[in-house]
């Protein structure tokens, strides 16, 4: 089997989440899931977080709590999530994009009559709170909304994805982007752009 890019020879890392951390992580993910459902397109049954993605996240949390090290096969994860293998692959990519999961591609070195070679083995996964990306942006905004009736702003260094489109799909009011090297100045500036989501619940209340 051809080695996949980024693969490493390593054991599955120990995921150390106490009860409070697991509860907080599940709350953030469910909040994001509900908000994306509210902002879903007409005719769609789900938001940007699919049922399979929700089930895969639940399966990973179950394995984290029970074993501490998470390295199931795709077939095993599909069985736990009650979905097909390809849907699980797509769901894992979505969870990585949102920042809730880090995937570690692993290989194992084995001895053959012709010398050493490497074989691809099951991926390992770390489940954690988003530290970057759209997941961090969304969870910070939702947390601010739940703790205060006044609008709040949060800064995220960078995130992957389709930018404003993803923000709209998650029901956010919009995003503010800037040139990385431009300093903050009061007043209007061509280096700062504000893009609003007219369909967001917060925008419709104004």
Residue 134, judged by CB atoms within 10 A of its CB (0-12, 13-18, 19+), counts as buried
Can you tell me the distance from the alpha carbon of 59 to that of 81, in angstroms, rounded to the nearest whole number?
A: 6
What pLDDT is stored for residue 154 in this prediction? 45
- Return the sign of the alpha-carbon dihedral for residues 179, 182, 184, 188: negative
What pLDDT is stored for residue 76 in this prediction? 94
Does 3 fall in a domain? no
Residue 162, judged by CB atoms within 10 A of its CB (0-12, 13-18, 19+), counts as exposed
- As a whole number, the mean pLDDT across the chain is 76
pLDDT confidence of 59, banded at 50, 70, 90? Answer: very high
pLDDT confidence of 148, banded at 50, 70, 90? Answer: very low
Same domain, residue pair 149 and 188 = yes
As a whole number, mean pLDDT of residues 106-119 equals 85
Same domain, residue pair 112 and 182 = no
Does 189 fall in a domain? yes
Task: Please give the residue that has the higher pLDDT: either 16 or 170.
Answer: 16
> Is residue 190 predicted with pLDDT exceeding 60?
yes
What pLDDT is stored for residue 143 in this prediction? 57
Same domain, residue pair 155 and 195 = yes
- Other CB atoms within a 10 A radius of the CB of residue 70 amount to 26
Contacting residues for 177 by C-beta, under 8 A, at least 6 apart:
163, 192, 193, 195
Does 14 fall in a domain? no
Same domain, residue pair 110 and 56 = yes
Number of domains forming the structure of the chain: 2
DSSP structure class, residue 88: H
Does 112 fall in a domain? yes
Does 7 fall in a domain? no
Q: Identify whether the C-beta of residue 152 lies closer than 8 Å to the C-beta of residue 176.
A: no
What pLDDT is stored for residue 8 in this prediction? 84
> Is residue 50 predicted with pLDDT exceeding 90?
no
Provide the residue count of the chain.
206
Same domain, residue pair 117 and 168 = no
């Amino acid at each position: 089997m051809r080695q996949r890019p980024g693969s490493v020879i390593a054991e599955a890392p120990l995921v150390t989440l106490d009860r409070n951390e697991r509860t907080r992580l599940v709350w953030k993910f469910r909040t994001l899931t509900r908000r994306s459902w509210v902002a879903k397109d007409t005719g769609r049954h789900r938001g940007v977080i699919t049922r399979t993605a929700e089930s895969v996240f639940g399966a990973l949390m179950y394995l984290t709590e029970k074993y501490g090290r998470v390295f199931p096969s795709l077939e095993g994860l599909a069985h736990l999530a009650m979905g097909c293998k390809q849907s699980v692959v797509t769901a894992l990519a979505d969870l990585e994009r949102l920042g809730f999961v880090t995937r570690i591609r692993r290989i194992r070195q084995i001895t053959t009559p012709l010398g050493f070679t490497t074989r691809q083995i099951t991926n390992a996964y770390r489940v954690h709170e988003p530290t970057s990306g759209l997941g961090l942006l969304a969870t910070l905004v939702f947390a601010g909304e739940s703790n205060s009736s006044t609008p709040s702003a949060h800064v995220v260094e960078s995130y992957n994805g389709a930018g404003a489109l993803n923000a709209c799909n998650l029901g956010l009011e919009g995003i503010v982007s800037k040139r990385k090297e431009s300093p903050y100045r009061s007043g209007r500036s061509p280096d700062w752009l504000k893009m609003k989501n007219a369909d967001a619940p917060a925008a419709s209340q104004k």
